[in-house]
Structure 1
Amino acid sequence: MRPEYCVTRNHIEVWQERVLPSGPERIRFGTVLRGSLLPILAWAGVACFVYFVYNPLMATVLGGLFALSFITGFVLRRRAKHSVCCSVCGAVGGVLDKSMAGF
């Protein structure tokens, strides 16, 4: 994969596509987060609910699940020869995108 094409909309899916540039351009980590506000709020809401209703240990388990999903996505992207920046953005966008698949 050529480095100049690594961080493009073709490799990073975010939940709300309207925040992405119109063509295959480089996007930043902030754009991925801005496009994923609803999934971020949903994860934070569930974590807060679990923390207060059950206990902090369950919220830690939920955070660990998120971290495990992120690490898996990052490793898979690095093995596919993506750059580190592309791997981070893609892993975050992918975890948030796939976690909201049922909605």
Structure 2
Amino acid sequence: MRPEHCVTRNHIEVWRERALPSGPERIRFGTVLRGSLLPILVWAGIGFFVYFTYNPLVATILGGLFAVSFIVGFGLRRRAKHSVRCSVYGALGGVLDKSMAGF
């Protein structure tokens, strides 16, 4: 895959694509985070809720689930010959996108 085509909207889906430019072009990490603000807030809110309501161990398990999902997504993208940058952006966007599928 050519490096200039790796970090595009075709390879990185941000939740509801609100923050993405209209065509294929390079995007920055801040754009990925801005487009994923709602899923980030939901993950953080659930983490704080279970930390204070149940136990810090439950919040740690939730964080571990997020980390495992990110690592699997990163590994799959690297295996598909994406760059490290594209793999990080895609894994983060993918985890946040798929975790909000029911909303």
Using the size of structure 2 for normalisation, the TM-score is 0.98
Gaps of 5+ in 1: none
Alpha-carbon shift at residue 27 of structure 1 (Å): 0.6
Q: Which amino acid aligns with 2:102?
A: G
Using the size of structure 1 for normalisation, the TM-score is 0.98
Gaps of 5+ in 2: none
Alpha-carbon shift at residue 44 of structure 1 (Å): 0.3
Partner of 1:55: 55
Q: Which amino acid aligns with 1:96?
A: L
Q: 1:1-103 residue pairs with structure 2 within 5 A?
A: 1-103=1-103
SS across alignment from 1:16: helix
Q: Which amino acid aligns with 2:64?
A: G
Q: Distance in 2 between matches of 1:73 and 1:31?
A: 19
Alpha-carbon shift at residue 55 of structure 1 (Å): 0.5
Q: Distance in 1 between matches of 2:8 and 2:100?
A: 22
Q: Distance in 1 between matches of 2:58 and 2:83?
A: 34
* Percent identity of paired positions between Structure 1 and Structure 2: 84
Superposed CA deviations along residues 8-31 of structure 1, whole A, max 9, x for unmatched, are: 000000003121011100011110
Aligned-residue Cα RMSD (Å) equals 0.6
Q: How many residues of Structure 1 are paired with residues of Structure 2 in the alignment? A: 103
Q: Distance in 2 between matches of 1:75 and 1:18?
A: 26
Superposed CA deviations along residues 48-89 of structure 1, whole A, max 9, x for unmatched, are: 000001110000000000000000000000000111000000
